[in-house]
Structure 1
Amino acid sequence: MSDRPDESFLPRQVPIDGYGAKFFHFAGMSHAGSLLALPSGLRPWAPATWDELDASSLAPILAEAAAFELLFIGTGRDPAHLKAPLKQLLRDAGLRFELMPTGAAASTYNVLLEEGRLVGAALIAL
């Protein structure tokens, strides 16, 4: 897999098969670090912790906002709140979003993806 954060691992959405301490499994692959699962595919995501989340880390999500309806944001192990300016960026892009611990976000993403819903996930690694 590539270390370049702008390169997709997989050019389509697939379920997250598993996750653990700093890793995700999907489509027979394993990735260490945070992960974006968007309509364009799965790829690395820069923030390693919730505190690193900023407007630049939302840029790839905002670029695809018209391609999906709902974004699940995995906050790591614990629940967290999104700063008001970041919430506004997502809302201005027309995205609905839900914040929850990463495990719950990955599971909910999988269920809605299976149902054929237009979803995305931005998952901070545990």
Structure 2
Amino acid sequence: MDLLPRIPADRQVINAYGDGGFRISGRHWTQPVLVFPGQSLPWDIAGISELSVESLEPAFGMEPSVELLLIGCGPSMVFIDKALRADIRARGLVIEALDTGAACRTYNLLMGEGRRVAAALIPV
């Protein structure tokens, strides 16, 4: 029995993280990155303290729409301010804050299941 889902070749898969960067579908990133099933984009943020509705703007207009955005906060999970979380939710996006490693693993799992998931990742 095959336990791994068959992931279409055009999907973004997080192959590795750590050492200040990521390898996503074979491409090396050394900066924060937004990962969607169909593409990865540089994320113009220096650290989790800069998280804002504006910094997540690419996720709001994505087609197909994203139902869950995993926030990889860095080496440890950070609680997201309730007001900011509410503002993001009002724009139609649910966020879940995790440490970056957990966000990477969870993204791959949910994306492999066909969920409309994305990840906003701070390198560790």
Inter-partner Cα distance in structure 1 for 2:88 and 2:64: 11
Moved over 4 A (4+): none
Unaligned ranges ≥5, structure 1: 1-11
2:60–2:66 Cα contact (<8 Å) kept: no
Q: Over alpha carbons, which structure has the higher Rg?
A: 2
Inter-partner Cα distance in structure 2 for 1:46 and 1:125: 13
- Tell me how far 1:65 sits from its aligned partner: 7.9
- Tell me how far 1:53 sits from its aligned partner: 1.6
Q: How many residues are paired up?
A: 115
Unaligned ranges ≥5, structure 2: 1-9
CA RMSD of aligned residues (A): 1.8
Aligned to 1:87: 85
Aligned to 1:54: 52
TM-score w.r.t. length of structure 1? 0.82
Inter-partner Cα distance in structure 2 for 1:112 and 1:49: 25
The percentage of aligned residue pairs carrying the same residue is 37
- Tell me how far 1:63 sits from its aligned partner: 2.4
Inter-partner Cα distance in structure 2 for 1:92 and 1:112: 23
Inter-partner Cα distance in structure 1 for 2:80 and 2:68: 16
1:101-112 to 2 correspondences below 5 Å: 101-112=99-110
Sort the Cα spacing of 1:40 and 1:97 in 2 relative to 1 into closer, same or farther, 3 A: same
